[in-house]
Amino acid sequence: MNLHGVRAIYRFEMARTGRTLMQSVLSPVLSTSLYFVVFGSAIGSRMTSLEGVSYAAFLVPGLVMLSLLMQSVSNASFGIYFPKFVGTIYEVHSAPLSYIEVLMGYVGAAATKATVVGLIILGTARLFVDYSIAHPGVMIVFLVLTTVTFSLFGFIIGIWADNFEKLQVVPLMVITPLTFLGGSFYPIHVLPPFWQKVTLFNPVVYLISGFRWSFYGIADVNVGISVAATLGFLILCLAGVWWIFRTGWRLKA
């Protein structure tokens, strides 16, 4: 294992965060804070509690998960796409690094940045609402599992994309709608029966449900099913990355 090479990629990607601090950290924290102001304070003050939890507190896990998904995908996809765009990917190919080591460097950095942003948002939420974490260990598991899984997914998107438009289309047109429709702002049991069944095909539902359970002990689906669904998507992403490295699809061209 070439730990020096893994550390070099990891440190380079983490250093990019410092150069783009406004975009990488301040922007998601500010946008999430606005959600708390608009939905939590303005609208939440006019709503009754949901399942024994105030609406503002109910929003916290969903908004943190929204940020985790977006940051994981965008950080990982841009991290591998930019070397392809400027041509420095050939330096990575020529380095004494296996594909697993390259993956560890890029995905590890993306997951770390997303986790840090998620924790900052979680701390910022304290300024707007009082919330509790009933199962902190489970919360950390979901936090890490989500960032790693969607960083792998973002890595695949970055390899697939051959322009900046494609790099943005999946996060904006797929991830964001699925998150908004996945129970970030409401429990799915308030939907009509037909749409409750349709919503269960949304994979983000299981992430948000499990993450919210770690806070308040309430969930739309069983927490065990949430963990299994997340692990299943992780395995699919690993299989996709394995196939890309095995074939060199859009990686060596």
Please, what is the average pLDDT of the chain? 89
Residue 230 has what pLDDT? 93
Residue 29 has what pLDDT? 85
As a whole number, mean pLDDT of residues 61-83 equals 92
Q: Is the pTM of this model over 0.85?
A: yes
The answer, yes or no, to whether residue 42 has pLDDT greater than 70, is no
Residue 32 has what pLDDT? 84
CA gap 183, 206 in Å, rounded: 9
pLDDT bracket for residue 21 (50, 70, 90): confident
The answer, yes or no, to whether residue 44 has pLDDT greater than 80, is no
Q: Two tokens at 212?
A: 């919210």
Residue 132 has what pLDDT? 92
CA gap 20, 67 in Å, rounded: 17
For 251, which DSSP code? T
User: Which of 116-130, 143-157, 162-176, 188-202 has the highest average model confidence (pLDDT)?
Assistant: 143-157
CA gap 206, 220 in Å, rounded: 8
Among 104, 121, 125, CA closest to 11: 104
pLDDT bracket for residue 252 (50, 70, 90): low
In DSSP terms, which residues pair with 50 in a beta bridge?
53
Start-to-end CA distance of the chain, whole Å, equals 26
Residue 224 has what pLDDT? 94
176 phi/psi in degrees, rounded to 5? -60, -50
